[in-house]
Amino acid sequence: MMPRALLVYAHPCEESFVAALHRATVETLAQAGWEVDDCDLYAEGFDPVLTAEERRNYHNTAINTAPVQGYVDRLRAADALVLVFPVWNFGYPAMLKGFFDRVFLPGVSFSLTPEGVRGCLRNIRKLAAITTYGATPMRAFLAGDPPRKLIKRAVWGATRPDKVRYLALHDMNRAPPARREAYIARVRIEMARF
């Protein structure tokens, strides 16, 4: 049986550079022998808004997954989680933030125990983030680089994978075509080895 990668993609424009990264990632993972569950949040019409009722039921693990059960099932069926997104205003796009808010629930991605918070997504053995920044590496560093920290700390803590990759193209608005192509080539190499 082929290993399964849940690829969560968050960008509204199919002509964007991030869309090109998405296509390259899907292609390369499939060629490397992964079954790719391509979760395009915009194309699927995912609603990122956590409702009042969802918040009230947030800690009730008997019913909290009901509004997003399909996404929870896809996450639990995956051996790898790959995120493809742009960094906007030093954070995730609202669509991706909403995915984490609504799908990474108590009983799904973590549990509260007397000893503290415990990650639950032990099925995820590999984790990758493929992203672009308008900022330079220094500006991202000075801002604290929240997306990198959230992937390498919070998402990592929920999954505890054997392998983590965080691939970023900084200063992308000023990146010439050759630099963008080199980044796509790097993504392909990393995903072929993933």
DSSP symbols for 120-131: --TT--EEEEEE
Bridge partners for 116 per DSSP = 113
Q: Residues 133, 140: contact at Cβ < 8 Å? A: yes
Question: Residue 172: what pLDDT?
Answer: 94
Question: Residue 176: what pLDDT?
Answer: 96
**DSSP one-letter code for 173:** G
pTM (two decimals): 0.95
Mean pLDDT of the chain: 96
Question: Residue 150: what pLDDT?
Answer: 94
Domains of the chain with bracketed CATH = 4-193 (3.40.50.360)
- At residue 61, the 3 state secondary structure works out as coil
Measured CA to CA, the distance from residue 124 to residue 136 in angstroms comes to: 31
CA distances from 44 to 41, 82, 124 (A): 5, 17, 22
- Give the tens place of pLDDT for each residue, 36-64: 999 999 999 999 999 999 999 999 999 99
Question: Residue 116: what pLDDT?
Answer: 84
Q: At what angle do helices 69-76 and 94-103 cross, to 10 degrees?
A: 80
The rounded radius of gyration (Å) of the Cα atoms in the chain is: 17
Mean pLDDT calculated for residue range 75-88: 98
Question: Residue 186: what pLDDT?
Answer: 98
Question: Residue 113: what pLDDT?
Answer: 85
Buried b (16+ CB within 10 A) or exposed e, 169-193: bbbbeebeeeebeebbeebbeebee
What percentage of the chain has pLDDT greater than the value 90?
96
Measured CA to CA, the distance from residue 38 to residue 26 in angstroms comes to: 7
- Give the tens place of pLDDT for each residue, 128-155: 999 999 999 999 999 999 999 999 999 9
CA distances from 192 to 5, 25, 30, 34 (A): 13, 9, 9, 10
Question: Residue 115: what pLDDT?
Answer: 86
Tokens of 98: 């909403």
Question: Residue 114: what pLDDT?
Answer: 85
**CA atoms within 13 A of residue 70's CA, in its CB half-sphere:** 6
